[in-house]
Amino acid sequence: MNHSPDVAQALRHAYLFAEMSEPHLQALVQGMADIHLEPGKALFRQGQPAERFYFLREGLVKLFRLSPDGDEKIIEIMRPGETFAEAVMFMGPQGRYPVNAEAINESRVYAFEQKVFLNLLRESNEATFGLLASMSRRLHMLVNQIESLTLQNATYRLVAYLLEQIPRDVKTSPEVQLTTPKGVIASRLAIQPETLSRILGKLRQGGLIEVHGHHITIRNVQALRDTVHLPPQE
């Protein structure tokens, strides 16, 4: 199967490939693996030698850590068009995945050999800068996460999460469609599902939101921001 044109097209949405020369990109597409994942299927486990990195084509993948007694903390939920595990390439020759990766929904990922990609990087600076940009974004994201875990409470984190889910451009009473089960969101926010449910209930009672299953209507964006002392606007 030769999907090269549209595959290359899709890849260009990722920082990593955005600026890459056409021949280089083509070479990568030739060498990549197209992997199909059922919901709940693991892609890799923490501690495994990291030989590949990934581009999410369709579906939803969670990156997470497990505590000794099985509790799960989701570090990041990957969405289509994003790459992950690229940074591990530079952890030295014996690099290992620092997290687990598992499909939430049925998913399709493209896998690239790190060795191949590294060779390509050595002779192409545009690609390297794309990689630097994506790592720098991820660093910032993690710092934000640490801040909200330590300096803010559970309600803040949930509200911030909801506000992030509002599609750009929307001015009117925004509708948010939760893309994952609530338990997954809870783990991402480092709270228990019970607590998530209670906070949602509290916000609902306050008339700030309406909850219909996975569909949430935000009745008053500004009031919502105010409850957690977020500055107006975005």
Partner DNA sequence: CCATGGCCTTGACCTTGGTCAAGCGGCCCC
Partner DNA sequence: GGGGCCGCTTGACCAAGGTCAAGGCCATGG
User: Which residues of this chain interact with a copy of itself, rule CB under 8 A?
Assistant: 65-68, 71, 73, 75, 87-92, 98-99, 121-122, 125, 128-129, 131-133, 135-140, 142-147, 149-152, 190, 229
73 binds DNA (CB under 7 A): no
Hey, is 86 helix, strand or coil?
Answer: coil
Hey, is 147 helix, strand or coil?
Answer: helix
Binding segment for DNA (CB under 7 A), chosen from 41-49, 88-96, 138-146, 182-190, is 182-190
Helix (H) or strand (E) holding 35: strand 33-37
Can you tell me the distance from the alpha carbon of 222 to that of 10, in angstroms, rounded to the nearest whole number? 36
176 binds DNA (CB under 7 A): no
State which residue, 5 or 201, has the beta carbon closest to DNA: 201
Can you tell me the distance from the alpha carbon of 51 to that of 173, in angstroms, rounded to the nearest whole number? 46
Which one of DNA, a copy of itself, none interacts with residue 26, CB within 5 to 8 A by kind? none
State which residue, 30 or 153, has the beta carbon closest to DNA: 153
How distant, in Å, are the alpha carbons of 11, 22, 24, 25, 61 from that of 120?
A: 16, 12, 7, 10, 26
190 binds DNA (CB under 7 A): yes
24 binds DNA (CB under 7 A): no
165 binds DNA (CB under 7 A): no
Q: What is the residue-wise DSSP string for 46-59? A: TTSB--EEEEEEES
Pair of tokens at residue 108? 């399709």
Phi, psi of 56 (to 5 degrees): -85, 115
Residues 157/159/164/166 CA torsion (nearest 10 deg): 160
Q: How far is the CB of 164 from DNA (least distance, A)?
A: 18
Can you tell me the distance from the alpha carbon of 108 to that of 37, in angstroms, rounded to the nearest whole number? 6
Q: What is the 3-state secondary structure (H, E, C) of 168-192?
A: CCCCCCCEEECCCCHHHHHHHCCCC
Q: How far is the CB of 192 from DNA (least distance, A)?
A: 4
Select the residue interacting with DNA from 31, 183, 206, 207 (CB under 7 A).
183
Binding mask 191-220 for DNA (x = CB under 7 A): xxxxxxxx-xx---------x-xx------
Q: How far is the CB of 141 from a copy of itself (least distance, A)?
A: 9
Q: How far is the CB of 33 from DNA (least distance, A)?
A: 28
Q: Which residues bind DNA (CB under 7 A)?
A: 153-155, 181-183, 190-198, 200-201, 211, 213-214
